[in-house]
Chain A
């Protein structure tokens, strides 16, 4: 289980980082093209937008894991034990269920894109619309993993940042 979580986490981190690098590269090319190279490709703006969508898609599950996807825990964490842990489970399970319910609609939205192409890069838009699907799947995987780890007693269900706070 731990090995599986590590593989999913590392793969997501690599894809998030790659999306960011594509975004940075396209913008740098845009700036250099305009100022130094005297070459301004029309597709850079489109590529940066697509890279941002995939950055959000691959990074969302990780942000749930790290605690960057903030929640208001003033009530839930102030309750007597074992309620905070139960509510953390509820939060993770509800997130996973919402995402599961959204997979079908996200797939449908992705399919709609097959009929369109992007104006500059001429890419099929279903590949770009799929970023929302990836986003929902990413969030579902990490929230389901947290729910399962709470159920099996493998973790207390705290986000990574919160665990570091407790350890510091």
Chain B
């Protein structure tokens, strides 16, 4: 009965539009009251959930991405991506995907990617004769690469939940992220050829070199982050803070496009975004504790394993469940609630936790572009000034592409586990 109350309040709260973190708190409080457990458990578990050293790197990476974005990096990344791939058929679509991949190396969230790249690329593509729905769809789809390519806020959360090091998680996402980006480029090219989209003239090696040097400082930040973690010189938190200082230096001294007076606002806004994530982690920790105390992870694992212990089928079931949940739920909340129960199931059939964590994050990122709740889809449709439906139709080929990559990553563990094993062992 208590569990029924927990789930009813949770689903009802979400449907009524109450913030996800508050809904988790509300459902947990209802459960505790009904079960006769003192409410003091809530602040205690919230504190325990947030007082995790790994989470310290979240504000740093968010700030680094925001500083870079405000410091004129987006234009430079797009210019370099355009010089690199813009000459092919559907060049601006390919530029869009390549820019998202490069942007993913400095930003840890897909929303930042969709808003930054989309703000420039969608109007530009429309002006160049690309259909608005395709422009919005390719931007939304490619923005999901951001949190797969390191750094990644969802990967940090998974690290905090599972005890897997953030360095391992970041490296595990590198190959799947690149695969996803390349696959979306192929899809873009095929659509461009079939629909006769324009191509940009080849701008020559001179422009390629100049644009590379323009974007160099942004690309170097990815190297700084990955290098710092790989060599073990710095912890993820230290890497995040060093990346922020680096982004500040590049924006003010090198690019000279980051006004000093804008820095306090960017710092505070980044802190506010981080506070929302941390509160979600805090409230979800209470909810998660209730699920564990009710033996929900074990029950799920035992129930599924009593039906089948076929690894192939279990991976498929996990993916179908996550895709379904991702359609309706905010990514980080879904990750926090479902990760631990599903990890128990995955380990029950011998799936490596690092492998599971990678395909779970990749799966939930796809949810950012699926209706009815797809944040990146909303952002891009809004920028393109389109209703949601045409963008939903236009994104279908990219969704199919991303699901194919998801299946590859799900069934070939080496895509996620090889790089960490080579570079960190």
Question: Are A71 and B20 in contact (CB-based, < 8 A)?
Answer: yes
Q: B16: CB under 8 A from chain A?
A: yes
Q: Which residues of B contact A60 (CB under 8 A)?
A: 275-276, 279
**Residue with the highest number of chain B CB atoms closer than 10 Å, among A21, A58, A75, A105:** A105
Q: A70: CB under 8 A from chain B?
A: yes
- Write the chain B residue with the least CB distance to A58: B275
Q: Which residues of B contact A106 (CB under 8 A)?
A: 42-43
Residues 151-168 of A contacting B (Cβ, < 8 Å): 165, 168
Q: Which residues of B contact A145 (CB under 8 A)?
A: none
- The one of B26, B242, B329 that contacts A94, using a Cβ cutoff of 8 Å: B26
- Write the chain B residue with the least CB distance to A125: B47
Instruction: State the CA gap A87–B12 with chains docked (Å).
Output: 12
Q: Which residues of B contact A135 (CB under 8 A)?
A: 46, 279, 282
Indicate whether A52 sits within 8 Å of B278 (C-beta atoms), given known contacts A24-B241, A70-B19, A91-B16: yes
Question: Are B47 and A74 in contact (CB-based, < 8 A)?
Answer: no
Q: How many A-B residue pairs have CB under 8 A?
A: 180
Question: Are B18 and A20 in contact (CB-based, < 8 A)?
Answer: no
Q: Which residues of B contact A108 (CB under 8 A)?
A: 40, 43
Q: How many residues of chain B have a CB within 8 Å of chain A?
A: 59
**B239–chain A nearest beta-carbon distance, Å:** 9
**Residue with the highest number of chain A CB atoms closer than 10 Å, among B20, B56, B244, B267:** B56
Which 10 residue pairs spanning A and B have beta carbons closest together?
A59-B275, A76-B17, A63-B276, A56-B278, A68-B276, A109-B43, A105-B39, A27-B241, A105-B40, A132-B43
**Residue ranges of B at the interface with A (Cβ–Cβ < 8 Å):** 13-22, 25-26, 29, 38-44, 46-47, 50-51, 53, 55-56, 59-60, 63, 234, 237-238, 241-242, 244-245, 264, 267-276, 278-280, 282, 328-330, 372-373, 375, 382
Would you mind naming 6 contact pairs between A and B with Cβ atoms under 8 Å apart? A27-B237, A49-B51, A69-B279, A72-B17, A95-B19, A104-B39
**Residue ranges of A at the interface with B (Cβ–Cβ < 8 Å):** 13, 16-17, 19-21, 23-24, 27-28, 30-31, 45, 48-49, 52-53, 55-60, 62-64, 66, 68-77, 87-88, 90-91, 94-95, 98, 101-102, 104-106, 108-110, 129, 131-133, 135-136, 139, 165, 168
